Chain A
């Protein structure tokens, strides 16, 4: 067992306790899903099974809720998440160019995915090794580029968030500096 699997086991132990305290209370589903996503960086099947059994909801419904909201991911997220705001103001002021610059530099040949919110993009997971508690064998690309609807920092458009931290008045040059500082070390 890798250190990460151990970490994940501990996390699920925590969830087991939370679930037994919330037995039968359906409204706890979203807050608990949020917390699992926050701690592990994604929703593993075991966590959804635990929630279904504990809260007394069919597993299909847990899955349906988990896949409805943009915030949750069923596969591990990358260690670094870059989020390009594509809100109206950012788009008018060059978000598309910023996005294609990042994609070209980091993931040639791929398209951006639509991701969750800022609160969702902090450093992943609770394990010390920084792999996000990911089980061995499952791997995510080290950096992912996502688009978000709007951070509400329209006055500083275009805006780029690096691991949840928002940077304003962006252009390719400034983005390159940020990448060198935070991501490509």
Chain B
């Protein structure tokens, strides 16, 4: 069967449609309730419209996001919809054809700067189609590239096209995708595998989740093209267990694609077979490392092993295996369809194409954005992210999560590409960009990252297993004001040792946050060590609380709140805190309604 014969549902675009953002973000913001409200309102008003779920448009801060399309009219996006708003939108917009202007997404149809400033290649369909319906994916052009590859291209031509595109692994390491493919293609033997790595474990990143929930077919198509290029008949899609919705939608997408001959046996009548299985992770961060992931697929403890041999020579069951990240594979179909040189037209230097970044932390508009590699960090934070919340000032940007680095505002003009970021001690990593304002303490952030990495270390190699715990203990002493002179030199030396001697990427990159904060924010560490002071006033052990007598009305609320019973005084008179017994929990400050407890 040729692709042209795969029938589209007629009249798909002729009915009024309501698309509701029902990715994890939308659901967390109350999307199900909004859907029920729309359905009830339509029933009550006797109106006919299709109510469909869609994935995430990347505007997490505006969820629940609802798109209303009336035939022949441009779509309207409503932001932060609640069940009550849904009712009125149904009445006004669908019933009377009147757009409820005041609830529209700021910036109009295209979502203002947030969407207009992007180049959406991987995210092309996210938030635009119903991810649970193959017809919608086909209507958006899915599987055309697979058809083209199977009919018009030899496997080596597919690899060559990907080579021309300059596509590099989007999971963190940035290894050229075509080289992995070429090695597996040339490897002898009939048994080869394609693994899609969806074990997105970095805290602060949700790119794979959005792609898998919002556009599963594009990832599956990328896998099938990779399989054709390397000669694999079996693929595994490894998804972390924290993403139950993604897992459900993927399984459904595979069923639908197999039923129409787009996956499985004899795809599109070409004689090429490829079947995909979704495998659920088990909550181990280190399984994002490719050799650990493979061990986990084989039913073992997910422990990394030394490389080489790389999976491209000895992977799953010892056979040649391609392991690619979800985002990498989502870029494959457009590259095949529009050509590698088109894709390479975006980006700069050795960093070609686009990259999805997850903006979070203290930016005004957290969410997902896709931009050409090489965009200055400043534009990411200020144009796309809308700057820092509540008019505060930017203190640092953590790029690349627990394996990345922390940059000061002075480096805002760094361009977001693999090489430039490495030069300043950060890395693209999986693409998370977390903004911090002046209220956050960087030694404390480093402590948090060390705690995370120490907990996730698999324990296989000594530097990571023991070194990270020692780093954590040292950072603990620093943020408690218990570290002595020389602690920073010790910290630096230990971090370098762990970085240089660990077996896998986890241990090798975990000290980056410590090293980069030491490099750019040394004064803040010194204040903790030498002056026993936290300049951000964030470390609980270094804060001291006192009552401002002029503001205190003697209401005794703080006395009730204090778990240590160390606040004393007479009702109606200013109270006082016994700082010797105070544990600096801050409960009194939270309890005071007059703002009389200062720290």
Question: A residues touching B (Cβ–Cβ < 8 Å)?
Answer: 26-31, 34, 64-65, 68-72, 86-93, 114, 116-120, 148-157, 159, 164-169
Quick one: closest A residue to B206, CB to CB? A152
Note all chain A residues with C-beta closer than 8 A to B282.
Answer: 30, 34, 69-72, 116
Q: Which of A92, A120, A156, A164 contacts B434 (CB 8 A)?
A: A92
Interface segment among B163-171, B251-259, B298-306, B484-492: the answer is B298-306
Q: Which of A68, A92, A154 contacts B206 (CB 8 A)?
A: A154
Instruction: Give how many B residues have a beta carbon under 8 Å from the other chain's beta carbons.
Output: 56
| 10 CB-based A-B contacts, threshold 8 Å | A30-B296, A31-B280, A64-B301, A65-B300, A88-B449, A148-B242, A149-B285, A150-B203, A152-B242, A155-B367
In the complex, A113 Cα to B351 Cα: how many Å? 41
Per-position 1/0 for B235-256, Cβ under 8 A of A:
0000011111001000000000
Least Cβ–Cβ distance between A115 and chain B, in angstroms: 8
CB <8 Å contact, A118 and B241: yes
Note all chain B residues with C-beta closer than 8 A to A156.
Answer: 25, 28-29, 60, 63
Quick one: closest A residue to B458, CB to CB? A68
Q: Which of A64, A154, A166 contacts B27 (CB 8 A)?
A: A166
CB <8 Å contact, B299 and A30: yes
Q: Which of B204, B300, B303 contacts A150 (CB 8 A)?
A: B204
Least Cβ–Cβ distance between B71 and chain A, in angstroms: 32
Quick one: closest A residue to B209, CB to CB? A152
Supposing A89-B204, A118-B244 touch, asked if A69 and B27 sit within 8 A by C-beta, the answer is no
CB <8 Å contact, A154 and B243: no
Interface segment among B138-146, B354-362, B469-477: the answer is B354-362
B283 in contact (CB, < 8 A): yes
Note all chain A residues with C-beta closer than 8 A to B452.
Answer: 149
CB <8 Å contact, B298 and A68: no
In the complex, A171 Cα to B524 Cα: how many Å? 29
6 additional contacts, CB 8 Å, given A65-B300, A92-B436, A154-B358? A26-B299, A30-B296, A31-B280, A69-B284, A159-B28, A164-B244
B401 in contact (CB, < 8 A): yes
B516 in contact (CB, < 8 A): no
In the complex, A31 Cα to B28 Cα: how many Å? 28
Note all chain B residues with C-beta closer than 8 A to A93.
Answer: 361
In the complex, A156 Cα to B210 Cα: how many Å? 14
Note all chain A residues with C-beta closer than 8 A to B25.
Answer: 153, 155-156, 168
Q: Which of B200, B283, B301, B360 contacts A70 (CB 8 A)?
A: B283
Within 8 A of A (CB), among B5-56: 24-25, 27-29
CB <8 Å contact, B434 and A71: no
B534 in contact (CB, < 8 A): no
Per-position 1/0 for B542-577, Cβ under 8 A of A:
000000000000000000000000000000000000
CB <8 Å contact, A151 and B242: yes
Q: Which of A68, A92, A152 contacts B243 (CB 8 A)?
A: A152
Q: Which of A69, A149, A154 contacts B360 (CB 8 A)?
A: A154
CB <8 Å contact, A151 and B24: yes
CB <8 Å contact, A117 and B301: no
Quick one: closest A residue to B282, CB to CB? A69
Quick one: closest A residue to B25, CB to CB? A153
Name, among B203, B240, B242, B401, the residue most crowded by chain A CB atoms within 10 Å (CB to CB).
Answer: B242
Q: Which of B281, B299, B360 contacts A65 (CB 8 A)?
A: B299
CB <8 Å contact, A92 and B301: no
In the complex, A89 Cα to B296 Cα: how many Å? 28
Quick one: closest B residue to A161, CB to CB? B28
Quick one: closest A residue to B202, CB to CB? A150
In the complex, A87 Cα to B402 Cα: how many Å? 10
Note all chain A residues with C-beta closer than 8 A to B367.
Answer: 155
CB <8 Å contact, A65 and B301: yes
B448 in contact (CB, < 8 A): yes
CB <8 Å contact, B202 and A91: no
CB <8 Å contact, A153 and B24: yes
Note all chain B residues with C-beta closer than 8 A to A150.
Answer: 201-206, 242
In the complex, A149 Cα to B205 Cα: how many Å? 11
Note all chain B residues with C-beta closer than 8 A to A72.
Answer: 282
Contacts across chains A and B counted by CB atoms under 8 Å = 153
In the complex, A168 Cα to B31 Cα: how many Å? 11
- What 9 pairs across the A-B complex have the smallest Cβ distances? A155-B60, A87-B203, A152-B206, A117-B241, A69-B282, A70-B283, A168-B28, A29-B299, A150-B203
CB <8 Å contact, A87 and B242: no
Quick one: closest B residue to A37, CB to CB? B282
Least Cβ–Cβ distance between B362 and chain A, in angstroms: 7
Name, among A27, A114, A167, the residue most crowded by chain B CB atoms within 10 Å (CB to CB).
Answer: A27
Least Cβ–Cβ distance between A23 and chain B, in angstroms: 14
Least Cβ–Cβ distance between A119 and chain B, in angstroms: 4
Quick one: closest B residue to A170, CB to CB? B28
Q: Which of B242, B360, B398 contacts A157 (CB 8 A)?
A: B360
Per-position 1/0 for B202-226, Cβ under 8 A of A:
1111100110000000000000000
CB <8 Å contact, B361 and A153: no
Q: Which of A31, A92, A149, A166 contacts B361 (CB 8 A)?
A: A92
Within 8 A of A (CB), among B276-335: 279-285, 296-303
Quick one: closest B residue to A172, CB to CB? B590
Least Cβ–Cβ distance between B50 and chain A, in angstroms: 26
CB <8 Å contact, A120 and B299: no
Quick one: closest B residue to A64, CB to CB? B301
CB <8 Å contact, B360 and A26: no
B379 in contact (CB, < 8 A): no
In the complex, A153 Cα to B367 Cα: how many Å? 9
In the complex, A157 Cα to B440 Cα: how many Å? 16
Least Cβ–Cβ distance between A145 and chain B, in angstroms: 17
Least Cβ–Cβ distance between B461 and chain A, in angstroms: 15
Name, among A29, A92, A148, A169, the residue most crowded by chain B CB atoms within 10 Å (CB to CB).
Answer: A92
CB <8 Å contact, A88 and B299: no
In the complex, A29 Cα to B358 Cα: how many Å? 34
CB <8 Å contact, A119 and B299: no
Note all chain A residues with C-beta closer than 8 A to B432.
Answer: 88, 154
Note all chain A residues with C-beta closer than 8 A to B28.
Answer: 151, 153, 156, 159, 166-168
B463 in contact (CB, < 8 A): no
Least Cβ–Cβ distance between A125 and chain B, in angstroms: 17
In the complex, A34 Cα to B282 Cα: how many Å? 8
Note all chain A residues with C-beta closer than 8 A to B204.
Answer: 87-89, 150, 154
Note all chain B residues with C-beta closer than 8 A to A167.
Answer: 28
In the complex, A133 Cα to B241 Cα: how many Å? 23
Note all chain B residues with C-beta closer than 8 A to A26.
Answer: 298-300
Supposing A159-B28, A166-B24 touch, asked if A68 and B284 sit within 8 A by C-beta, the answer is yes
